[in-house]
Amino acid sequence: SQFTIIRHLIRRHLMGATATKIGTPLPRAPEHGRCIYLDYQATTPVWPEVAAAAEPYLRLHWGNPSSGHAFARPCAAGVQRARSSLAELIGASNDEILFTGCGSEADNHAILGALEAEEARRR
């Protein structure tokens, strides 16, 4: 299940190993011990490989990927590539990957998904 995957990724992070082939583990702030910071909407350390992948969309292709105009098309294609890459990385399908606009939106989706799964389990 998706929760098993998330638990596995968190466990690997706590052990100091990477769950991906992207690069070395991200640095942790020693004053926070084993705490995992999940609100990465505002700021976060970034792997160099991720920065390199994002660079074209920060300099050249900065249109709204949800729009239909010419500026948006390369951005929409980039979002789809990111979705496909992430899905492949965690063994999911593309339609299981949802990008949200903020941490609160992501939290709400997670809570609603858990409630729906519990309701389906009880039927």
How many whole angstroms separate alpha carbon 55 and alpha carbon 67?
Answer: 20
How many whole angstroms separate alpha carbon 70 and alpha carbon 96?
Answer: 27
Q: What is the pTM of this model?
A: 0.58
pLDDT tens per residue across span 49-69: 888 888 998 888 888 999 989
How many whole angstroms separate alpha carbon 42 and alpha carbon 58?
Answer: 16
How many whole angstroms separate alpha carbon 2 and alpha carbon 68?
Answer: 32
Residue-range definition of the domain harbouring residue 53: 2-122
* pLDDT for residue 74 is more than 80: yes
Please report, for residues 30, 37, 45, 71, 99, the alpha-carbon distance to residue 49 in angstroms, rounded to integers and kept in the order given.
24, 20, 12, 24, 20
Report the number of distinct structural domains present in the chain.
1
Query: Contact 57/78 with Cβ under 8 angstroms?
Result: yes
pLDDT tens per residue across span 81-117: 999 989 998 899 999 999 988 878 999 999 999 999 9
pLDDT, the chain, mean: 79
